Amino acid sequence: MTYGLTFTNNDNEVVIDSEFGRLNVICSGRYAPTEEFNLGSTTTFPLAITSAEPPLIFCRPDTGAIAGLGQMQVIGSPGNWTGFYVRAYNDSTAQPNGRYFAAAFGSQPVASFGLRLWDGSSKLLFDSGTPSALFVRAFQNWTYQRFENTGSGGTRNYYTVPFAFPENEYLLINTFSMLMVSGAPQGRLVYTLWDFASGTLYAVATGTANPFAFFMPAVFAKLVA
């Protein structure tokens, strides 16, 4: 840019820029079982997120048993997003326990003192109470592994990618909130499975017409400031 403010950290990553909104973490915390025999988890944000579009929710299941997440929903409406819901894969996998952060491309007036930065159209780009997040990797090169019958006329396809599951990397769970296109009107339900012991990330697609092709990305981010 020709004028304004740019701030970089020790890794030469741009943390603040007066022209472009960074991915700012509005709130963070833990999610835990709340309903559906400890398979469902509804988390309420400590403050409403005021972005017009739904915030991006990043989750990191607690390391341990195989953890599955899917059926994610952002709760609220434009300008007043109040929380999110996520569900464990089934009763054979870990309950929905872990860490999360909710982020948006922009900021909110969170800090009671510090620094705020607006762009030329008066949009708040940065507040010193909202740390930044950085996209670090995305997996789209899934390897088809196997399928199984669901017992209700459908199939369940399993896709894998090797992953070391760093403690500081969180998965964008919004991706697992919508049904995928399939050969049937109802679409395909998609979950992610974290197999910590084998170092394998799974995507599981279930539907009555379930093609083998699968290209949905798994996107990860981490806190950087």
% of the chain residues with pLDDT over 90: 56
76 sits in the region (left: phi over 0; alpha: psi -120 to 50; else beta) called left
The three-state secondary structure class of 34 is coil
Is 60 a residue whose pLDDT tops 90?
Answer: yes
For residue 205, the one-letter residue type is A
121 phi/psi in degrees, rounded to 5: -100, 15
Is 32 a residue whose pLDDT tops 80?
Answer: yes
Is 208 a residue whose pLDDT tops 90?
Answer: no
From the list 40, 52, 54, 125, the residue with the least C-alpha distance to 83 is 54
From the list 221, 48, 27, 57, the residue with the least C-alpha distance to 129 is 27
Residue 97 in contact with residue 61, Cβ under 8 Å?
yes
Residue 203 in contact with residue 189, Cβ under 8 Å?
no
Pairing relation of β-strands 67-77 and 14-17?
unpaired
Mean pLDDT for all residues in the chain: 88
Q: How far apart are CA 45 and CA 82, in angstroms?
A: 6
CA 212 to chain centre: 24
User: What does the block give as tokens for 186?
Assistant: 């109802």
Q: How far apart are CA 203 and CA 121, in angstroms?
A: 41
Is 181 a residue whose pLDDT tops 80?
Answer: no
Q: How far apart are CA 190 and CA 28, in angstroms?
A: 24
- In the block, tokens 């992953």 appear at 163
The radius of gyration of the chain's CA atoms, rounded to the nearest angstrom, is 19
Band (pLDDT 50/70/90 cuts) for residue 182 is: low
- The string of pLDDT tens digits covering residues 79-138 is 999 999 999 999 899 999 999 999 998 788 888 888 888 877 788 888 888 888 989 999
